Chains A and B, each alone.
Chain A
Amino acid sequence: MTMDAIQHQTSAGGAEPVAQRGASLWADARRRLARDRWAMLCLGIIAFYVLLALGGAMYEALAAPEGGIPTFEETINFDQSYRPPSLDSLRNLLGTDWAGRSVLLKTVLGAKVSLTVGLMSNLIAVPLGLMLGAAAGYFGRRTDAVIVWLYSTMASVPGIVLLIAMKYAFKNVTFLGLNLGGIHGLYIALGVTAWVGTCRYVRAEVMKVRELEYVLAARAVGRGNVMILLRHVLPNVLHLGIISFSLGVVGAITAEVTLSYLGLGVEVGMPSWGTMIDGARMELHAGRWWELASAVGAMFLLVLALNIFGDRLRDALDPRLKNV
């Protein structure tokens, strides 16, 4: 190998700018996402909701019964029932409910519930789907058969029926000091039913990645199966997990609303968008639209933002759409 040849190689290999170090897949995706106005707008909306939810959580933490800041239950004031939205005060900005409580506060607290449910259930579902999908795709054979059987069974039962069944099963069950009859049970029920989609995507992708030569190369330098799976296969399918997560939050939020509407979601009395819609449905014919509108509007905007963001994220992480 002569120096000339090396020099030649450099200029050939360095066709792309060499100075910028390490534009990884993630850095690329981040850059593409940052250029995408819609994605950024949606990210802003999501961030706004996160702040609202944090505010709601802070309020709940600070409020103490009898003294200081009144808790949400203590704001009951029947003299103020069914006030329509007005600009008079922040409290009445979105009107009041049957017990005279602020619909604005209720909506903010609902955002907290929705986002927590979305986060927690996906923290269960996505890792579960990733692990099962990766194991099925990588090891194949019997492992694959068992996992495919498991998710086919899950997928063949209507999700809502499964959720209802699980919520009933969890009634009055306490596990590790958590009351599974309430919101914790909801996380778990949503988590263990929502992994199927992630699992299928990941399995298919892992089957593809498994056959690539860098996996073979890793084996040829003496890597074992587990490390190959963790270091060479999983990082290459992780984007599927992230996309699943952002789109899965949408599913979890709508599922929470549906279940709470059916009276199977959060504990009685806990403000959530589902219970708001449930409570407001009888009042609509009396012309009291604001509680329903607030809950639906808040949910609509968040779900829309999450959906668009998830979509844009998928595009940004898809190497085939690179540089378009």
Chain B
Amino acid sequence: MMGMNTQPGDALLEIRDLRTHFFTDDGVVKAVDGVSFSVPRGKTFALVGESGCGKSVTAFSILRLLPMPPARIVSGSIHLDGRDLLGLSPGQMRQVRGGQVGMIFQEPMSSLNPVFTCGSQIAEAVMLHARTSAREARRRAIDLLAKVGIPEPAQRFGEYPHQLSGGMRQRVMIAMALSCSPRLLIADEPTTALDVTTQAQILDLLGDLQERENLGILLITHDLAVVAQTAHVVGVMYASKIVELTSAADLFSRALHPYTQGIFRSLPRLGVRGRRLETLGGSVPNPLNFPTGCKFHPRCATARMVARTMNESDTVVVTTETGPVRVPARCASQEPPLRQEQPGHSVACWHARAADQADAPPAEEEQQ
């Protein structure tokens, strides 16, 4: 499987069993609870999930950018190029930030300091890690601006953020993140705040830069279209865990987790007419009070379907937002581990095979 490295040390970024919890007055919020994945060199790993599933917290944990307390990385390991990031001192961590790892954010409007020129902010980042003169830093900042496709970079150097459009600002942010030639770029919803045209340009730019610099990208997004366009490997997150891990091509051709399938069924498909878009019943569980067993079972269509074929003694009735439903006992009591179901395709579901078959019929119906 392309880029699916399972042996540690081979990948650029290797996260094993990461648990980041928030210790609040209301209780412990397990925002990230046992997440493992790796970002291959020069490839894009996309972490997809809805708001509050823990994808951003995962990204922020890597650079330790979370407010601690309340947040704490309880356990797990994060290896970058074989070096354990969790063992670093705050001073060493600052060297990693902006040095080996660059990061760009969702909101290009507020990611730049309004009182300084764009150029001076890039030059600042350059000088922070490469000890250069101000003149050299300025030259490199202008080079970077040119590299991210900003026309007339020398002139743009002296402009303030409010003089640039959203797309331009995101380019400046990318230039800043790339100022010290990082090996890994963390992009936290880099295109969410941009319009579709600009979004495509920024994604193209990231793809170009990846090719030229052999850049590993960890892309955080909730947008499956962005994933389809850019990602090589995808992790789908639901309620603090990765529930499906596979190549992008595989995910789009044959999703195995009921959650992922549900999402795909809720997307309009080109050329398919007259079929109602399905919705995922219920809502994201409260992280203070996750369901026992598989966290998806109260919303899971596959679980209900499988329960109908089982002996009643092997099932239980659980109360959900939408009323009582009968699900397999194991779904409600035991959390499924993420295990390889097909080569290079891991799923955390007790009934992934049933889910696979369940997803097939609608396609056949259309053929009839």
Residues of A within 8 A of B (CB): 1, 5-7, 9-10, 12-13, 15-16, 18, 21-25, 212-214, 216-224, 231-232, 235-236
Interchain CA distance A50-B164 in the complex, whole Å? 41
Interchain CA distance A215-B151 in the complex, whole Å? 27
A-B contact count (CB 8 A): 107
Instruction: Give, as a whole number of angstroms, the nearest-CB distance from B294 to chain A.
Output: 34
Q: Is the CB of B167 within 8 A of A222?
A: no
Interchain CA distance A5-B159 in the complex, whole Å? 21
Q: Is the CB of A21 within 8 A of B159?
A: yes
What 10 pairs across the A-B complex have the smallest Cβ distances? Answer: A221-B98, A222-B98, A220-B103, A222-B97, A13-B165, A213-B111, A221-B125, A222-B94, A13-B168, A214-B113
From A13, A25, A219, A235, contact of B164 by CB (8 A): A13
* Residue numbers in B under 8 Å from A231 (CB-CB): 124
Q: Is the CB of A22 within 8 A of B65?
A: no
Instruction: Give, as a whole number of angstroms, the nearest-CB distance from A215 to chain B.
Output: 8
Residues 86-115 of B, flagged 1 when their CB comes within 8 A of A and 0 if not, give: 000000001111110011011100111111
In the assembled complex, B242 has its CB within 8 A of some CB on chain A: no
* Residue numbers in B under 8 Å from A21 (CB-CB): 155, 158-159
Q: Is the CB of B98 within 8 A of A12?
A: no
Q: Is the CB of A222 within 8 A of B95?
A: yes
Interchain CA distance A21-B149 in the complex, whole Å? 20
| A232-B113 contact, Cβ under 8 Å, with A23-B160, A217-B173, A221-B179 | yes
Interchain CA distance A235-B120 in the complex, whole Å? 14
From B65, B96, B163, B168, contact of A216 by CB (8 A): B65
Instruction: Give, as a whole number of angstroms, the nearest-CB distance from B155 to chain A.
Output: 7
| A9-B107 contact, Cβ under 8 Å, with A214-B112, A221-B98 | no
Q: Is the CB of A217 within 8 A of B111?
A: yes
* Residue numbers in B under 8 Å from A222 (CB-CB): 94-99, 128-129
* Residue numbers in A under 8 Å from B124 (CB-CB): 221, 231
Closest to A236 in B: B115
Residues 152-175 of B, flagged 1 when their CB comes within 8 A of A and 0 if not, give: 100100111001110110000100
Interchain CA distance A7-B151 in the complex, whole Å? 8
* Residue numbers in B under 8 Å from A216 (CB-CB): 65, 105, 111
In the assembled complex, B117 has its CB within 8 A of some CB on chain A: yes
* Residue numbers in A under 8 Å from B168 (CB-CB): 9, 13
Closest to B179 in A: A221
Instruction: Give, as a whole number of angstroms, the nearest-CB distance from B359 to chain A.
Output: 37
Can you list 6 A-B pairs with a CB-CB distance of less than 8 A? Answer: A1-B205, A9-B198, A23-B160, A24-B160, A213-B107, A232-B113
* Residue numbers in A under 8 Å from B159 (CB-CB): 18, 21-22
Residues 285-323 of B, flagged 1 when their CB comes within 8 A of A and 0 if not, give: 000000000000000000000000000000000000000
From B116, B163, B167, B176, contact of A221 by CB (8 A): B176
Interchain CA distance A21-B160 in the complex, whole Å? 9
Instruction: Give, as a whole number of angstroms, the nearest-CB distance from B71 to chain A.
Output: 14
* Residue numbers in A under 8 Å from B106 (CB-CB): 213
Interchain CA distance A1-B150 in the complex, whole Å? 11
* Residue numbers in A under 8 Å from B114 (CB-CB): 25, 214, 236
7 additional contacts, CB 8 Å, given A9-B198, A220-B103, A235-B115? A10-B152, A13-B167, A22-B160, A222-B96, A222-B97, A231-B124, A235-B116
Q: Is the CB of A217 within 8 A of B115?
A: no
* Residue numbers in B under 8 Å from A25 (CB-CB): 114-115, 160
Interchain CA distance A5-B198 in the complex, whole Å? 9
Interchain CA distance A6-B201 in the complex, whole Å? 9
* Residue numbers in B under 8 Å from A5 (CB-CB): 149, 201, 204
In the assembled complex, B234 has its CB within 8 A of some CB on chain A: no
Q: Is the CB of B113 within 8 A of A236?
A: yes
Interchain CA distance A213-B177 in the complex, whole Å? 14
Instruction: Give, as a whole number of angstroms, the nearest-CB distance from A37 to chain B.
Output: 27
Interchain CA distance A1-B167 in the complex, whole Å? 13
In the assembled complex, B47 has its CB within 8 A of some CB on chain A: no
Q: Is the CB of A217 within 8 A of B176?
A: yes
Interchain CA distance A6-B167 in the complex, whole Å? 11
| A214-B111 contact, Cβ under 8 Å, with A23-B163, A221-B128 | yes
Instruction: Give, as a whole number of angstroms, the nearest-CB distance from A124 to chain B.
Output: 25
* Residue numbers in B under 8 Å from A220 (CB-CB): 63, 65, 97-98, 102-103, 105, 177
Q: Is the CB of A12 within 8 A of B165?
A: yes
Interchain CA distance A213-B114 in the complex, whole Å? 11
| A24-B129 contact, Cβ under 8 Å, with A6-B151, A213-B110 | no
* Residue numbers in A under 8 Å from B179 (CB-CB): 221
From A7, A219, A236, contact of B97 by CB (8 A): A219
Interchain CA distance A18-B103 in the complex, whole Å? 28
Interchain CA distance A217-B174 in the complex, whole Å? 11
| A223-B128 contact, Cβ under 8 Å, with A13-B167, A213-B107 | yes
Closest to A220 in B: B103
* Residue numbers in B under 8 Å from A221 (CB-CB): 97-98, 102, 124-125, 128-129, 176-177, 179
* Residue numbers in A under 8 Å from B65 (CB-CB): 216, 219-220
**A7, A22, A221, A224 interface centre (most CB from chain B within 10 Å):** A221
Q: Is the CB of A16 within 8 A of B163?
A: yes
Instruction: Give, as a whole number of angstroms, the nearest-CB distance from A197 to chain B.
Output: 23
Instruction: Give, as a whole number of angstroms, the nearest-CB distance from B248 to chain A.
Output: 21
* Residue numbers in A under 8 Å from B107 (CB-CB): 213
Q: Is the CB of B208 within 8 A of A1?
A: yes
Instruction: Give, as a whole number of angstroms, the nearest-CB distance from A317 to chain B.
Output: 11
